[in-house]
């Protein structure tokens, strides 16, 4: 654990500034990354400012690129709060917005810190595992007003979506534990050990299995018919009269049958214990949400917010976080279904097209132009990194971006050395090539001119060979 008192002192300082701006009726722009953690962080601050009677506009963006900064500059906000946007853009922020900005982040920084940044790493906390961007926003919100402890469920969603469940039984660690405790004290959250499959309380068992993305199951992921046939053959009772049953309704014996049926699809070295560990872990249930709702499981909410953001409907995600359980939630669930179809199709295409994959002793490189949209590149990389086809080395996948750019997403795979820090590697490369990049130890990304792809790949290989 890092330096808790300096961290909370800094959170109080940022809270006082935002509270003053809200009371002065300044136009505050809240700009978050378009993934689940960024949407959660933006929503926390939006609610905190709203409770102070302040004026705000919340929006989500892909990154802090020059084009994005120019668009934000044209919005004419009187103050700018960047949530979960790579802090390495500090010079660009200062050039465009003077002193009228702050960043709230947990990603590794390549450049020197700035007093206007509130970053976990500056206080010796590991932003890859110990706290999310939403968690950092929450620390500020509770300093603005103690009633904002009721927002503690959102950092749990953000942390799980950023795959910070690195503790025993896939539990959250570090400062995330304190936030979990805040949510439990208010009866907003409960923890259990159960099967880690998507939609365990809201979807039919075979659909839950087909939709799960924390592990990639060849032949099952994205294939509801195959899941239905496999589970039926195993003797599981999937229906109760005319209603499909959910995983949460299974008996312990039935859950063991499910685990035994799915485990062989994980592949690997045949170690049953490690296979089961992939399937069983800590469940974070949002107690105040309706039973059988897609809002009941915190991991499921993260998937919903990711879908809204990456399908360019982040406003729906923010509305859901702020309490809309009507039209926004219904629309978000429809977007999630389409999002999952896109992910599964793109992932399957990559796995079936060997010509797109180049491997050497240091890395796995996938060229996904024309089959993976840049907005879902990161999620596709995460799915591929859970495949048994890609192991022991980091995975790098690229696709075409806008206006002659290339997007790159990097992930650690099973058996990959954890001494390797992908976030630092891409952050250093971004600084060297004057582009954008960074992230966390096991997940990172970058954007650069397509013409520089050969140089970037060479720099990656040099960095990997010396790690």
Query: What pLDDT, in 10s, does the model give residues 269-283?
Result: 545 566 567 788 999
Query: What pLDDT, in 10s, does the model give residues 347-357?
Result: 889 888 889 99
Nearest Cα neighbor of 140 from 160, 154, 157, 124 is 154
Inform me whether the pLDDT recorded for 252 exceeds 90: yes
Mean per-residue pLDDT for 441-451? 90
Return the residue matching tokens 């993976």.
372
Instruction: Say what the pLDDT of residue 110 is.
Output: 58
Dihedral through CA 409, CA 387, CA 165, CA 159, nearest 10?
A: 40
* Residue 46 DSSP code: H
Dihedral through CA 55, CA 326, CA 190, CA 181, nearest 10?
A: 0
Q: Hey, CA dihedral for 141, 158, 160, 132, is it positive or negative? A: negative
Residues forming CATH 3.10.310.40 domain(s) in the chain: 353-465
Look over the chain and give the mean of its residue pLDDT values, rounded to a whole number. Answer: 90
Percentage of the chain lying above the pLDDT 70 cut: 95
* Rounded (5°) CA angle 172-173-174: 140
Instruction: Say what the pLDDT of residue 450 is.
Output: 93
Q: Where are the alpha helices (DSSP H) in 353-437?
A: 377-385, 422-433
Of the ranges 83-97, 246-260, 312-326, 393-407, which one carries the lowest mean pLDDT score? 83-97
Instruction: Give phi and psi for 194, each to the nearest 5.
Output: -160, -175
pTM higher than 0.85 for the full model?
yes
Nearest Cα neighbor of 21 from 117, 95, 100, 93 is 100
Return the residue matching tokens 């500090």.
90
Instruction: Say what the pLDDT of residue 24 is.
Output: 96
Residue 7 CA to its chain's centroid (Å):
23
Cβ atoms of 339 and 307 within 8 Å: the answer is yes
- CA separation for the pair 371, 352 (Å, rounded): 12
Inform me whether the pLDDT recorded for 121 exceeds 70: yes
Band of the pLDDT at 111, cuts 50, 70, 90? low
Residues forming CATH 3.90.1640.30 domain(s) in the chain: 4-183
Both tokens of 392, joined, read: 């022991």
- In three-state secondary structure terms, 149 is helix
- Other Cβ atoms less than 10 A from the Cβ of 122: the count is 20
Cβ atoms of 181 and 189 within 8 Å: the answer is no
Band of the pLDDT at 3, cuts 50, 70, 90? confident
Q: Give the chain's largest Cα–Cα span.
A: 65
- CA separation for the pair 446, 406 (Å, rounded): 8
- Burial grade of 2 (CB within 10 A; 0-12, 13-18, 19 or more): middle
Inform me whether the pLDDT recorded for 419 exceeds 80: no
Instruction: Say what the pLDDT of residue 45 is.
Output: 98
Nearest Cα neighbor of 174 from 213, 214, 139, 144 is 139
Q: How far is CA 433 from CA 80, 446, 460, in A?
A: 26, 11, 12
Query: What pLDDT, in 10s, does the model give residues 214-241?
Result: 677 878 888 899 999 999 999 999 999 8
CATH number of 4-183: 3.90.1640.30
Cβ atoms of 129 and 423 within 8 Å: the answer is no
- In three-state secondary structure terms, 200 is coil
Query: What pLDDT, in 10s, does the model give residues 147-189?
Result: 999 999 999 999 999 999 999 999 999 999 999 999 999 999 9
Inform me whether the pLDDT recorded for 18 exceeds 90: yes
Q: How far is CA 450 from CA 375, 418, 435, 438, 464, in A?
A: 17, 29, 11, 18, 21
Inform me whether the pLDDT recorded for 266 exceeds 80: no
Higher pLDDT, 271 or 404: 404
Both tokens of 330, joined, read: 């219904």
First vs last C-alpha separation in the chain: 25
Band of the pLDDT at 88, cuts 50, 70, 90? low
Inform me whether the pLDDT recorded for 424 exceeds 80: yes
* Residue 164 DSSP code: -
The CATH architecture of the domain made up of 353-465 is Roll (3.10)
């Amino acid at each position: 654990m890092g330096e808790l008192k300096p961290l909370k002192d800094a959170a109080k300082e940022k809270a006082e500034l935002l509270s003053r701006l809200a009371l002065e009726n300044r136009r505050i722009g809240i700009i978050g990354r378009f993934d689940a953690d960024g949407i959660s962080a933006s929503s926390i601050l939006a609610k905190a400012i709203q409770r102070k009677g302040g004026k705000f506009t919340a929006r989500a963006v892909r990154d802090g690129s020059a084009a994005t900064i120019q668009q934000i500059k044209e919005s004419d906000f009187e103050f700018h709060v960047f949530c979960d946007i790579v802090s390495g853009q500090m010079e660009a922020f200062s050039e465009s917005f003077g002193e009228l900005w702050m960043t709230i982040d947990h990603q590794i920084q390549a450049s020197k810190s700035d007093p206007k940044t509130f970053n976990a790493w500056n206080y010796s906390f590991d932003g890859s595992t110990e706290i999310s961007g939403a968690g950092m926003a929450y620390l500020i919100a509770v300093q603005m007003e103690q009633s904002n402890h009721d927002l503690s469920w959102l950092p749990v969603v953000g942390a799980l979506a950023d795959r910070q469940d690195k503790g025993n039984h896939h539990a959250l660690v570090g400062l995330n534990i304190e936030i979990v405790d805040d949510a439990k004290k208010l009866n907003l959250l409960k923890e259990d050990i159960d099967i880690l499959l998507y939609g365990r309380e809201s979807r039919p068992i075979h659909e839950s299995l087909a939709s799960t993305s924390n592990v990639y199951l060849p032949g099952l992921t994205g294939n509801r018919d195959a899941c239905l046939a496999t589970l039926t053959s195993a003797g599981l009772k999937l229906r109760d009269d005319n209603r499909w049953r959910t995983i949460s309704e299974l008996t312990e014996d039935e859950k063991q049958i499910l685990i035994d049926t799915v485990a062989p699809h994980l592949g690997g070295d045949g170690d049953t214990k490690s296979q089961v560990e992939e399937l069983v872990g800590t469940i974070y249930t949002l107690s105040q949400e309706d039973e059988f709702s897609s809002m009941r499981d915190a991991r499921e909410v993260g998937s919903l917010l990711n879908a809204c953001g990456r399908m360019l409907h982040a406003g729906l995600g923010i509305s859901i976080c702020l309490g809309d359980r009507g039209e926004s939630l219904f629309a978000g669930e429809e977007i999630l279904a389409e999002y999952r179809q896109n992910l599964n199709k793109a992932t399957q295409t990559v796995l079936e097209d060997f010509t797109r994959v180049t491997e050497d002793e240091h890395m796995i490189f996938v060229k996904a132009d024309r089959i993976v949209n840049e907005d879902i590149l990161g999620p596709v990389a995460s799915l591929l990194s859970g495949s048994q086809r890609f192991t022991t080395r980091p995975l790098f996948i690229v696709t075409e971006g806008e206006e002659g750019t290339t997007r790159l997403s990097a992930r650690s795979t099973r058996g990959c050395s954890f001494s390797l820090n992908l976030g630092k590697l891409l952050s250093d490369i971004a600084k060297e090539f004057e582009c954008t990049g960074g992230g966390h130890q096991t997940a990172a990304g970058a954007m650069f001119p397509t013409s520089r792809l050969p140089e970037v790949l060479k720099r990656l290989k040099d960095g990997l060979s010396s790690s």
